[in-house]
Structure 1
């Protein structure tokens, strides 16, 4: 268990082996400008090019209104799709996931653009065939452009003539991880020559033995003689005499110098660097829904919940009638639960029990063959129809379609004292379905089951993306009729 108290990686499989990482992680200031520009500008430029091609195909010219669409799509794609990701082995499954991600993000942008044109009464200035052709063809053009760009970046990175020399000060596990990451990002075009370390060989990792180039006071001389371009320091960033002497000695070189903070002592949730009026800070535990990511999450929630409520209105009415005529009591069951940032919310469900508990002070988990479950309640619980009113919670902003399942207040107060990091799951809105539920941890009121549920919830926070949300929704749909844990 880490010092932060919410370590979960040891027993929960990583989601996609970083396949769902934020796209922004694929841009590095250490990369040559030409590569940085290609990865950053390719996505925004492709929609503009496809729009021009569609206009030419339909015999139209690029004039005022279409220029507006081109500018909006350039800016929107730059925000929504960020940069071209680099994958060393773009397997077919990764390529399909990439296409799915592009289709989803492009669809969100198109909904926004259509609404904007409609509300501003500009839609009559456009040719519908042009816009439809453009809307359909662009995501596939983006996908093909991504695949081509990946191959171009990989081919360019194989040129040894452009390699930059680097050394690492500090022969430790962090240094080994850093070198491994550099080796896995060929577009960085960096070659690590070795390590510098003051400690005895017996205290150096085996992988570093034989590659130690000298002690810390020899770094500056080596950098000057061998024209080293980059110096990475994996030692603590503290004002120790040896660190200060090292930095002073390197002032006479032209090498770029980087401190690499060792954050392994923390079990980070959505780590990122930020600035507070020029002061750098590191996020140790943060919500994944920030900036455009949060906007996309909310837009997808509103769209999905609104559409589902419209389509499922007959089902909602039928279930409400069934609850009313099958047993005495209210149709809708209201329960106090914890929402975003641990604030209380009222969650709606179709009543499936003969008793009603609001969960504020006590709550008894429903078990198999529970006598409190009504006959009709057993049916709607088995098919998860009792959860449908939570679509209203999503629409009004209390919940999300996908997220950690909300627990009754009494359950939260019980387990937050027993499970380290329990409250971290409340950094996001609770969901109708979640990563824990599709992995078999829907029910269970014992400590072991709850611990595993929390671990999956925190793993979801670490790896969140719209693509992961879609996978969870598809998995939910596939197991909803045969969930052995629903009773």
Structure 2
């Protein structure tokens, strides 16, 4: 059964659809007397919206949730309604009487109306909630840092519509809740307080290991109209920020998996290919000059190739300009270049000091084996050593390795003759994975161009 708020929301949306169609017709045909609309199409869109919008969850409470996501959901739902209406009108041979410009105007105006109405409502509710009204009381169950942070977020965001009004402390540690929030350690007294004060939200801020504690609270409030939500503390288990994904229709929390979403991976992939292609085209004359210089500096091939690990441990051949005289390494041993290394040629020293020897790796990027920005790949022989010595080392390969990275622009490049140097490099790589954004990639690219090409650590 629909509440008054649901009915009003539907009525407003119907008005916005009809008003948008009429305004679009007036704009399209300019002269008011020539204004014309297709009543059947408008009626069909209203009917489809009244069916589709509830399915999309547009009439559910959006308390504490992302407005950006709501805006996207509204736009998508309305576009699907209009697309469905067009298909049905086409099936009854009525599309010939529909003005395409009018349809575009109508779709845009009504979409703006839907979004504007919801943002206006949110602004009003925000003001009301800051005044201490329209708040939903929450009882938090938990202890430790995770619970403290959750209570802090509730207090810092009254506009979300939630207010911490009770705390059940499951830890034996110091009680951290402010004085205004009653703290309980006895379940019976806690349950009495929740029922007496009409609290309708209980949030379990607990680690996954507290299954028995969760069960106690679920059983206690089984016959009450209380929403019990589990907000797990998975930081002790999850390497990166835990995310809930849908697997074969079941929710799954990613504890150790790729830290980048599919959308982020697509963004990086598009940028990588375009950037690599532009660099190779723009620097083609320089690449030719370097190739000639390398060939003339000593006997051997122009390019040095070596097997490295890519995303998910896939092995590929990395390309560099050769900077050393041809030599043979012992099987299973890779000797890093050191300061004053006699194997390095004069041309090679210049290339290594300016990182110009890395330019052929844009071929690896174009081939999809590397990224412009990411953790630097190491020799496979070094991988086998350091993954046992440095915590989190192997997770650098959750994404494609990069030509440059957060560690490199912060000075952690070149020889890793001490374990501490590799640990610092890995710390910076993991920071990059945990805090990735397209803006951070651009920052690293710009930093590399401005200061990252020349380094005293590169030899």
Which TM-score applies when normalising by structure 1? 0.68
Question: Is contact 2:208-2:233 (8 Å) kept?
Answer: no
Q: CA–CA distance in 2 between the matches of 1:39 and 1:474?
A: 29
2:297 equivalent to 1:321: no
Q: CA–CA distance in 2 between the matches of 1:152 and 1:482?
A: 55
The runs of 5 or more residues in structure 1 that have no matched partner are: 1-28, 49-61, 75-83, 85-146
2:62 equivalent to 1:33: yes
Deviates more, 1:345-354 or 1:276-285: 276-285
Q: CA–CA distance in 2 between the matches of 1:238 and 1:45?
A: 38
Q: CA RMSD in A?
A: 3.7
2:458 equivalent to 1:480: no
2:363 equivalent to 1:334: no
Which residue of structure 1 lines up, in the alignment, with residue 247 of structure 2? 276
Alignment equivalent of 2:382, drawn from 397, 402, 411:
411
Structure 1 residue 36: Cα displacement: 5.0
- Write out per-residue CA displacement over residues 245-291 of structure 1, whole angstroms, 9 at most, x where no aligned residue: 43223123222111222223225224211222233221112213332
Pairing of 1:50-129 with structure 2 (within 5 A):
63=100, 67=104
Change (3 A) 1:165 1:364: same
Structure 1 residue 165: Cα displacement: 0.6
Deviates more, 1:284-293 or 1:207-216: 207-216
Pairing of 1:250-265 with structure 2 (within 5 A):
250-265=221-236
Question: Is contact 1:352-1:378 (8 Å) kept?
Answer: yes
Which residue of structure 1 lines up, in the alignment, with residue 175 of structure 2? 205
- Write out per-residue CA displacement over residues 212-249 of structure 1, whole angstroms, 9 at most, x where no aligned residue: 14521233322221111311123456787664343223
Deviates more, 1:220-229 or 1:326-335: 220-229
Change (3 A) 1:414 1:38: closer
- Write out per-residue CA displacement over residues 413-437 of structure 1, whole angstroms, 9 at most, x where no aligned residue: 2212211221110111110001110
Q: CA–CA distance in 2 between the matches of 1:283 and 1:215?
A: 34
Change (3 A) 1:176 1:282: same
Larger radius of gyration: 2
Alignment equivalent of 1:227, drawn from 198, 207, 224:
198
Q: CA–CA distance in 2 between the matches of 1:66 and 1:321?
A: 61
- Write out per-residue CA displacement over residues 80-105 of structure 1, whole angstroms, 9 at most, x where no aligned residue: xxxx9xxxxxxxxxxxxxxxxxxxxx
Which residue of structure 2 lines up, in the alignment, with residue 467 of structure 1? 439
The alignment covers a number of residue pairs equal to: 372
Secondary structure (helix, strand or coil) at the match of 2:167 reads strand
Which residue of structure 1 lines up, in the alignment, with residue 141 of structure 2? 169
2:268 equivalent to 1:301: no
Q: CA–CA distance in 2 between the matches of 1:370 and 1:320?
A: 22
2:423 equivalent to 1:451: yes
Structure 1 residue 35: Cα displacement: 7.6
Higher relative contact order (CA 8 A, sep 6+): 1
The runs of 5 or more residues in structure 2 that have no matched partner are: 1-57, 79-98
Change (3 A) 1:337 1:256: same
2:192 equivalent to 1:192: no
Question: Is contact 1:237-1:261 (8 Å) kept?
Answer: yes
Which residue of structure 2 lines up, in the alignment, with residue 378 of structure 1? 349
Question: Is contact 1:336-1:408 (8 Å) kept?
Answer: yes
Question: Is contact 1:166-1:231 (8 Å) kept?
Answer: yes
Which TM-score applies when normalising by structure 2? 0.72
Q: CA–CA distance in 2 between the matches of 1:417 and 1:159?
A: 56
- Write out per-residue CA displacement over residues 185-222 of structure 1, whole angstroms, 9 at most, x where no aligned residue: 3432211012124666xx34344688314521233322
